[in-house]
Chain A
Amino acid sequence: MKILLSIFLIALFSGCAENKIINWDGSSIVSAMPSNIKGAKFSVFILDKEKNKKIETIVIEKQLIEGLVARGMIFEDDPKHRVPNYIVMYDYASDYGISTQYEHAFAIIIYALDSKPTQVFKARLKINSTNNDTVKNITLGINEVIEKTFGKSEKGTKQ
């Protein structure tokens, strides 16, 4: 019975995976966040400073912050005066793919600020898409990473 159920589940999930534009094949979560993140303060920075002033960056960063706040973390917007528990670094990129035409990538790296800054989380997600809407596709990526890492939010993340 268990074998039958396993075969059915494998078939079901392989079918679902084909329809999704998010592709975890080239992606990895190399380390897991500490389970108790509720109430922890975090500040957000982009890896590539040149993207700092882009409108896309502002929207993507907002999505990321909302996703983490929805999981109980507290956003610290003044890290200069109030030291956060975590530094969250992220970046995104778009390129021209082949079969799906566009490839997007999203990366998130988190450092815990203990006595010595320690990398506690790192994920890189590849997203294949037929549209070149970076914000829309990266937002999907952000939600995927956050859900996979911290589980679904009761409130849900805003799209």
Chain B
Amino acid sequence: MKTLFFLLLLTIHFSLQAASNSAAGGFAGGFADGFNKAQENSRQEQAQELVIIQMRQNFKARYGTKEIERLDFFIKNAEIRLYEIFEDLSRKE
């Protein structure tokens, strides 16, 4: 019963996928249309990524905050801080 239900779900999934491919030109417009569309999407994603990197660099240059990097440094060196705490506690004696 479970297997049958699973197969039914798979069939629905693949039918939907085929329908969306068709809409994108995969079936109707042929391979070239789909390929061009994929290339265009990829170019858009790359451009978007570049904009984000540029924005991040601008923020850093403008505000100069690197607090999270500093936090990660302290996480890596937690043991050093631990022994520093021990030292402080024993120094007060």
Query: Quick check: A80 and B92 within 8 Å, CB to CB?
Result: yes
Specify which chain A residues have a CB less than 8 angstroms from the CB of B75 in the assembled complex: 47, 91, 107, 109, 122, 124
Specify which chain B residues have a CB less than 8 angstroms from the CB of A3 in the assembled complex: 2, 5-6, 9
Query: Quick check: B70 and A93 within 8 Å, CB to CB?
Result: yes
State which size class the interface on B falls in: 20 to 34
Interface with A: B15-23, B26-34, B59-67, which one?
B59-67
Out of B5, B6, B74, B82, which one reaches A111, CB within 8 Å? Answer: B82
Query: Scoring A residues 96 to 131 as 1 if CB is less than 8 Å from chain B, else 0, what string do you get?
Result: 101000010101010100000101001010000000
Residue A89 interfacial (CB < 8 Å): yes
Query: Quick check: A119 and B89 within 8 Å, CB to CB?
Result: no
Classify the interface of chain A: helix, strand, loop or mixed: strand
CA distance A47 to B80 in the complex (A): 10
State which size class the interface on A falls in: 20 to 34
Residues of B in contact with A (beta carbons under 8 Å apart): 2, 5-6, 9, 52, 55-56, 59-60, 63, 65-68, 70-72, 74-75, 78-79, 81-82, 85, 89, 92-93
Q: What are 26 inter-chain pairs, A to B, with CB distance below 8 A?
A: A3-B9, A4-B5, A47-B75, A47-B81, A48-B74, A87-B82, A89-B81, A91-B71, A91-B74, A93-B67, A94-B67, A94-B68, A95-B65, A95-B66, A95-B68, A96-B59, A96-B63, A96-B65, A98-B52, A98-B56, A105-B68, A105-B71, A119-B78, A119-B79, A122-B75, A124-B75
